Amino acid sequence: MKNKEISGAVCESISVIAPARLHLGFLDMHGGLGRQFGSLGLCLSEIYTHLTAKKSDDIVIHGPSSQRGTEYVSRIFNALKITGGVDITIHEEIPEHAGLGSGTQLSLAIGMAISRLYGSQKSVREIAALMKRGSRSGIGIGGFSMGGFLVDAGRGEATEVPPIVSHCYFPEEWRVLLVFDKNVEGINGAPEKEIFDELPPMTEEVSGRICRLVLMQVLPALAEKNCIKFGSAITEIQIMIGEHFSDAQDGHYSSQQVAEVMHWLSDRGATGIGQSSWGPTGFAIYPNELEAYSALQSVRKNWQEEKHLEFCLCTARNTMADVIIDGQLPQDTNLQSYQ
């Protein structure tokens, strides 16, 4: 199986399962040291994009996000100078514009499937560059190739894809409570670019505080499996990030009802609270399933009349995306050549 892939021999089908991610904040939007952004984030097990690709005479995409998928197919075909077609079925997708990285995962899944289907051995990093992903954050790209909890170093003058500088195992017993608002769409596309272009720089003091929290609280708490200290640091980071983006999204959260839920959870002792990316998805992190499930039951009961609000529990995904060739998972899919 491994020789078949490395040699570029024809295979019948490629399936890819790419995990959603939480974007937990930027590290340095001051930029005084020559790099900007930097991010931290976490991959999730229960929410993912799953697709299967086969060679075809034409480009055909079945399932959700077919228009966006067609754009990604055209981009990778042009970049790799592929003549031919592909038949792609999107079995499941990460919710769009919810702050969970749906665009990056769909583009990488399509790029990886077509690359392998046509005998190319492009790395995730190379595919991301071809797909023009990672303009600010490398968390989704790193998540595809590694999983787990990630920190990227942002962009310097010559950066093509933000490098992952820390990759940590996230404790399997910890749980993430997610809060969705189906009535709100996170900022994306041209409006997002315009906001970043117009945002004032973060102060050096705030950037320094965030970086210190990551190095001296977040990462040690993960290493020592201390959910309380981890969550406290994430919450503080999220408050600073929310304040920086508050004018652009009318508050610390893009959904006021998600904000109400998160404040309610905070008042009852939850830690690790915030919004993923532009939202509207909110999150809270718990040290075990019992506490998380109790919180889940409570919010479902208290907001049962708000049908547009949805809640679920997730675990972390500590492994790379699945790339399944002809129904089998190879031992080496070249994903770890991200760096």
Compute the distance between CA of residue 227 and CA of residue 177 in angstroms, rounded to an integer. Answer: 14
Domains contained in the chain, CATH given: 2-169+318-338 (3.30.230.10), 175-314 (3.30.70.890)
Tokens of 282: 């909110």
Residues 147 and 284: beta-carbon distance below 8 Å: no
Question: For residue 51, what is the enclosing H or E element?
Answer: strand 37-56
Helix ranges, 26-123 (H)? 66-80, 102-117
Residues 6 and 97: beta-carbon distance below 8 Å: no
Residue ranges for the chain with pLDDT beneath 50: 1-9, 333-339
pLDDT tens figures, 80-125: 999 889 999 999 999 999 999 999 999 999 999 999 999 888 999 9
Given this model, what pLDDT does residue 158 score?
A: 87
Compute the distance between CA of residue 321 and CA of residue 240 in angstroms, rounded to an integer. Answer: 31
Given this model, what pLDDT does residue 331 score?
A: 52
Please give the single-letter amino acid code of residue 220: P
Given this model, what pLDDT does residue 4 score?
A: 34
Given this model, what pLDDT does residue 134 score?
A: 85
Residues 44 and 176: beta-carbon distance below 8 Å: yes
Given this model, what pLDDT does residue 204 score?
A: 96
pLDDT tens figures, 275-287: 999 999 999 999 9
Given this model, what pLDDT does residue 10 score?
A: 61
For the chain, the 3-state helix, strand and coil shares in percent, each to the nearest 5, are 40, 25, 35
Given this model, what pLDDT does residue 9 score?
A: 46
Given this model, what pLDDT does residue 301 score?
A: 97
Tokens of 187: 């900022």
Phi-psi region of 326 (alpha: psi -120 to 50; beta: other; left: phi over 0): left
